[in-house]
Chain A
């Protein structure tokens, strides 16, 4: 093991990353655009979730002035937006196609409404309406608690997800695919002809990718934070340590994929096969809380699941390093397994 040789390959790989303008730009731009896009969509406010249709509303009348007959708490509920239709037929058509969740005939007493049996949000909207119509004393039986202080905006929840996803793709493709290409076009063979050892080569690839992932992470983080202003409840240092564990683990997984083979197409297939389920089951975009237990359990084989769980605990819940230690331990244990496999399987030629 010669550090000089490792350093030479580490530098060459970094240069390549920074000079490959197209890929370089994409590495930064992609997560940035996604986060920015979602930041614009979910402005930070609670957005309306349910659409309720009203008819008949003449086309020159405003729907807001025609909903006085509804109970106040329903008519002014933030999560509901109202749409007016001139006729019942028009409204029914939208309801059938799930464009609206509930259709109400204006000015009726008792209130006449239509709802689709097959629509879950229709059922919720119906319950909201019934709740608003119920006698007032029932509402005394509940007490609404304020969760103001710990409210997590969707964008704050999504942010670590997108960063982790970007890290995952960059780790898997930046090591897996690139090393296979180098094996195919003979670069690895040329390196084999030198005193460089497989261990030195793999270590250089690993360290270079981790360095680049963390570098990208910091840049994208700062850029998004300046524009959107994220709320981090825990410590930034702890968050950094969590992401470091995640990038090490996913880069090691990339090394396993890179260890053999000369077909870029085959490797691409393997990478897709791993990265897509990982993206959906690791809760990058949405929680799988409601999914079947076996699915939630199998999501635990993905490093990204553990990375995101820990990152969200730190960022959104303000947990300390100790609380996420199980996740970090799992990530480093997986890293060890991946590295052993990757090194055992590695071949310069085939």
Chain B
């Protein structure tokens, strides 16, 4: 995979390998992450996302390859400048949420006032409670707050919303969007294409330790899955569809038209007198991109 040229890279990943005995968890990944971007590693479970992100975080050592941060190898200052939210972490037991934030905040030189973080991450009602007495969503928000304590330039989020219900997930996304708007660089992993589409402006799709596609979400879709699908009720469908610009097939009591040019087809259908209220348009997603590239779906 050739490196996509990023104008102002904060992180450069150069030919990273991680082998566990015969398993190649990360198999020669090179990419660069631009300053101020929200970069997403998207892939199914076991793709190697956690392994790769933890190598970039300097938590585990790669079998081979190099990581550059601001153009040089990571020095002690790296820890002061990055914030990390792991996929799974237990917290110190018998401390309250506020005490946990305080304890971690003493580990850094330059910190955000804890009251700001409590507000940003909606932890007001639980700040006096013990860490092990809070809900899953609250715990994720606390872990996010811990990752933001040191006003990091670079924030790592490993599957931030996995295991949360849709409401809690949307709350978390809102907070991450706020963090993004503060100009911080974010690197996140996810196996939810929706999460990647909503939050990321740059994506690498990973499978079996390799990056199989790289780019902006919309561009990836444009390149790999140009066709949208229109679905028209059978009884509405025109008698002579030959002029429609697309591939037509029958699915039960509906007719599907797959096309690269949705607008043209919609115009044609309208001119043929089709009632648009019964027509569905499904545009391709990153899920379709993954399916196209691997023949498998993201969620197995």
Contacts and interface: CB of A to CB of B under 8 A. Distances in A.
A186 to B, nearest CB: 4
B92 interface: yes
A311 to B, nearest CB: 32
A284 interface: no
Contact of A16 (B57, B59, B94, B102): B94
Interface in B88-109: 88-95, 99, 102-104, 106-109
Given A4-B106, A195-B79, A195-B80, A186 B90 contact: yes
A186 B95 contact: no
Given A15-B94, A15-B95, A19-B94, A195 B108 contact: yes
Q: Chain B binding site: helix, strand, loop or mixed by DSSP?
A: loop
Range for the number of chain A residues in contact with chain B? 20 to 34
A216 interface: no
Contacts of B57: 193
- Chain A residues touching B, majority SS: helix
Nearest to B107: A194
B59 A189 contact: yes
A12 B94 CA distance: 9
Interface string A181-198: 010011101111111100
A296 interface: no
B60 A5 contact: no
A77 B106 CA distance: 69
B203 interface: no
Given A9-B103, A193-B57, A195-B107, A20 B92 contact: no
Given A192-B59, A193-B84, A185 B106 contact: no
A192 B80 CA distance: 12
A12 B82 CA distance: 23
A254 B99 CA distance: 27
Contacts of A187: 89-92
Given A15-B95, A16-B95, A194-B108, A185 B59 contact: no
Contacts of A4: 106
Contacts of B95: 12, 15-16
Contact of B89 (A9, A186, A194, A349): A186
22 contacts: A8-B104, A8-B107, A9-B103, A11-B103, A12-B95, A15-B94, A16-B93, A19-B94, A20-B93, A186-B88, A187-B91, A187-B92, A189-B86, A190-B84, A190-B86, A192-B59, A193-B59, A193-B79, A193-B82, A195-B80, A195-B109, A349-B59
Given A15-B99, A189-B89, 6 more contacts: A4-B106, A19-B94, A190-B146, A194-B104, A195-B76, A195-B108
